[in-house]
Structure 1
Amino acid sequence: MTSFEFFQQIETNSTHNYKLLQINDDLLEYMDKNEGRLLIKSSDEESHHLVLCTSDKTWKVRQMNHSNDVILANDMRNNKLDFQVSSRVQEDNESSMLVGFSKFTYEYELSKTHGSINTTGIPTFNGNTSSPGAHGLTVDDVRQNSPISDGEFSDSWFKIGGCEVDGKAVLLSEDFITTCLNVLISLLISKNVELDSSMPNIDIDTITKLMGQEDDRISKQVCLTIIYKFGKVDPQASKFALCNREVARWYGILTLKKTMSQLISPNEFLIKWKSALPLFYNTPIDLSYLIGFYCSPSPGMLQYLDPNSLSQGDLHLRIKELFSITKEWDYDEFLPLVLDFIPEGKKPEAIILKYARKRRVSKNKFLVSPR
């Protein structure tokens, strides 16, 4: 057993400001392998919201206060910080000495998150010929100013309809995305392409040219956004397969939006959803595809719910908002709306039950209600 003498500096070095950050196993492995940079990021609009990013993962940084001081100390056996101690202390045995040089009443805790893209200042593009302008943001500008890792950004960018027009970042409008999707599906059906393939089977270059010929507003970059948003892509082979569930989900959400605040029965909604699909495009539809975009304020009736209209920063507030919409939720429909607030490694049910009650109503059905 090794014993140490401990000395605490009376005055700390004013030129240095230290912060303590908990490092999990994933980050330790990433650092040991020297796989890339570690970045602490925030967006201009939410500078208080910090994330830590590796090349492909994002962690939310949260300040955790505690009542006991934590002291950061230098081990004088190796003295990697090249500490100089007073002459009185030097008379002692430096090989068994710890020198405290900073103390803390808090540290930073990490929790896994999906990250998000800061869309402030990005114009919407509806396919017209007008340019976003010379002073617009580039895609790289958006990447740098978004609290998300580079690897996650690429996938998320296409999922929100992100595109590049004249070298500037834009978001494709909902109507223009639908127009492009209609063109894509019509072409695939006319060419007798297998739409249910589990493996990428559609040549990207060929379909890009065909879509551009059908509608001159559909540039190569626009086409790529549609392909990555609704397809499973093999970049090496330059091929993709259509994700029918994502396509069906898109038309289902559009149909829900058109009902707006009106209540609609599931059967009536499914009929409207089916009729909204492109002509001759037969793919299964199921309400489970749309979980997170509807609620049931009245038994047996549906109503559109915009998840972006809900509170983004606090779980307790989010749950209060959900119960203000309806007093009882199907657990399977409730969970996706709060899942982003559940820390990594925690059981969702354990967190939810701090703010809500859960009861069984049948073998596989549970309801959630306020406490």
Structure 2
Amino acid sequence: MTSDNEYEVHANVPQSYSYRLMELTPELLKVIEEKKEPLVLKAPTSKSEVVLCTSSETFALRQRNHSNTVMMTKEGERDGKKFFCSYATLSNVFEVRKSKGHIITEGIPLYDGQNKITNTGESVTLDELKTRSAISDLEFESNWFALNGSSLNGQAIILTDDIITRTLHVMIMSIMASSLDFSELSLIEVFQSMGEDPDITIDIVETVLRKFVTNDREPYQLNKAKVVQWYGIETLRRHCRTKPIELSDFFIKWKSELPPFFESSLDIPLLRGNYAMPLPERIQYVSKLELPSDIQNRLKVLFKLQSSWNLTELAPFIEEFNHKNVKIENFVMKFAKKKKQGKKIIITQR
């Protein structure tokens, strides 16, 4: 049987580690075809998960091994006839999935104002940190401020809760005193309204402002719910760390922490993931950072604090373990018991 094409088939084609196959999402394919922005592979360390970043999105890569015959081939021509020749086989492919990305803050110094730097680690600039972080540039910016990230003399720093609270208080008071519009704020106007304070640089003001607004570009709109939430968590830390207090007393203390004349609505659900209610109408601070890092021991501690939990109040403490994004009601059933009380789902220890 004759054909216009000749095909050369070779046995024992060597397996290659110089090439990798990758499954492309529609977003990545569009970036490649349009050629308007670079694709960057990132991994903070040699043992870290590799990610692929566009300017605004992050994709995690996972190697999937297989036993299929997959060959790399090249087209050639001999005696006027075209043929394909294999030169390598591949036994795996990279799956691509959307990822939130990650900024490694371990070792970044803490800053509490007045040039007081504690927990000194390596000195790294923001550009260096952005380059080595497994996250896209646009996502880095918003995530960095959420992590209390800022800079001092070009060095990346993490602001302590105390300096954030102090700066936020002065900021809100200054905005109101200068009659600025909470829904149309610019960084330079806010900074200038706060007067000269060597402890509050424009970089620190930017971090605090961006942490409490609803949008990522000027003009900024202050998110009053975020401000109220921050002061509520601070109130929990200061007054409810060692023992629970009555809710009525807590609301009084919460209100008194806020800047004078700042319009606000106090709502306990804003504080979910930061408190337990061991007794009716009493509230106590719970630090997620101080809880065990595995779900079973974490639940033991939480049930010791509070014998039964409303699922909506328990979920923020355990959702980080739900890697497969299972419905949280079904996920918690692996480790605890549930029952329904009207529309509420109550979780208790097994």
Q: Which of 194, 199, 202 is equivalent to 2:185?
A: 202
- Aligned 8 A contact 1:52 1:61 in 2: yes
Q: Which of 208, 229, 237 is equivalent to 1:226?
A: 208
Corresponding residue for 2:55?
A: 55
Q: Which of 227, 230, 241 is equivalent to 1:250?
A: 230
Q: Distance in 2 between matches of 1:32 and 1:324?
A: 52
State the secondary structure of the residue aligned to 2:88. strand
Deviation per CA, 1:270-297, whole angstroms, max 9, x where unpaired? 3322221122223112122122223345
Q: Distance in 2 between matches of 1:157 and 1:295?
A: 29
Change (3 A) 1:353 1:341: closer
Change (3 A) 1:58 1:355: farther
Deviation per CA, 1:22-75, whole angstroms, max 9, x where unpaired? 43333333333334223332323x83333332211223334445xx51332235
Q: Which of 133, 146, 170 is equivalent to 2:157?
A: 170
Matched, 1:119 2:105: yes
Query: Structure 2 length normalisation: TM-score?
Result: 0.80
Residue 103 of structure 1 deviates from its aligned partner by 3.6
Matches within 5 A, 1:137-148: 137-148=124-135
Corresponding residue for 2:69?
A: 71
Q: Distance in 2 between matches of 1:107 and 1:303?
A: 50
Corresponding residue for 1:87?
A: none
State the secondary structure of the residue aligned to 1:239. coil
Matched, 1:272 2:270: no
Change (3 A) 1:18 1:332: farther
State the secondary structure of the residue aligned to 1:112. strand
Residue 201 of structure 1 deviates from its aligned partner by 2.0
- Aligned 8 A contact 2:210 2:216 in 1: no
Matches within 5 A, 1:1-371: 7=9, 9-12=11-14, 16-44=17-45, 47-64=47-64, 68-75=66-73, 79=75, 95=83, 99=86, 101-104=88-91, 107-129=93-115, 136-195=123-182, 200-213=183-196, 215-232=197-214, 235=217, 238-258=218-238, 259-296=240-277, 301-309=282-290, 317=294, 319-327=295-303, 328-340=308-320, 342=322, 347-349=326-328, 352=331, 355-356=334-335, 359-369=338-348
Deviation per CA, 1:144-194, whole angstroms, max 9, x where unpaired? 222211110001111222112111111122111111111111112223445
Change (3 A) 1:340 1:298: same
Residue 10 of structure 1 deviates from its aligned partner by 1.6
Residue 8 of structure 1 deviates from its aligned partner by 6.2
Which AA in structure 2 matches 1:202?
A: L
Q: Percent identity at matched positions?
A: 26
Out of 215-224 and 350-359, give the one that drifted further: 350-359
Q: Distance in 2 between matches of 1:309 and 1:8?
A: 61
Residue 231 of structure 1 deviates from its aligned partner by 2.2
Change (3 A) 1:112 1:341: farther
Q: Distance in 2 between matches of 1:261 and 1:140?
A: 41
Q: Distance in 1 between matches of 2:174 and 2:141?
A: 26
- Aligned 8 A contact 1:131 1:166 in 2: no
Residue 17 of structure 1 deviates from its aligned partner by 3.3
Q: Distance in 1 between matches of 2:93 and 2:333?
A: 25
Runs (5+) with no aligned partner, structure 1: 85-89
Deviation per CA, 1:228-264, whole angstroms, max 9, x where unpaired? 11124574xx532221111111111111222224234
Change (3 A) 1:267 1:116: farther
- Aligned 8 A contact 2:319 2:328 in 1: no
Query: Structure 1 length normalisation: TM-score?
Result: 0.76
State the secondary structure of the residue aligned to 2:340. strand
Q: Distance in 2 between matches of 1:256 and 1:222?
A: 24
- Aligned 8 A contact 2:185 2:219 in 1: yes
Q: Distance in 1 between matches of 2:248 and 2:128?
A: 45
Q: Distance in 1 between matches of 2:32 and 2:228?
A: 41
